[in-house]
Amino acid sequence: MAAQVAGKPRDASVFIAPNGGPLRSTNFRCRVLAAAVGAGRAGLTPHDLRHTAASPAVASRANVKAVQRMLGHASASMSWTCTRACSVTAWTRTPTGWTRR
């Protein structure tokens, strides 16, 4: 990430489209889906990545308000409901990070 933002102004876009312009949601979605297929995870969606980020945060006892801000939810109860749906026990810490059991 440091290399991605090196030398850019603080308000510059971090992720850009192949043509150098803004990364639109359709372009991002296509890139995520292509990467998922390449990784043998066909069907993975950008929304799944939110759960991938939130579930380990909750499993490591992150503050629910911090998770709310991370996910952009309007309320902490919404974050709690959504992350509870992804069982905390489905994740385990390994020497290299978090992984699904």
Cα first-last separation, the chain: 28
- Asked if the model's pLDDT at residue 4 lies above 80, the reply is no
The ranges assigned to domains in the chain are 13-44, 46-101
76-85 vs 64-71: helix axis angle to the nearest 10? 90
Which one is predicted more confidently, 51 or 100? 51
Q: How many residues would you count in the chain? A: 101
Structure tokens at 49: 């990545």
Predicted model pTM: 0.47
Lowest mean pLDDT among 8-12, 31-35, 56-60: 56-60
3-state secondary structure of 53: helix
CA distance 46 to 98: 19
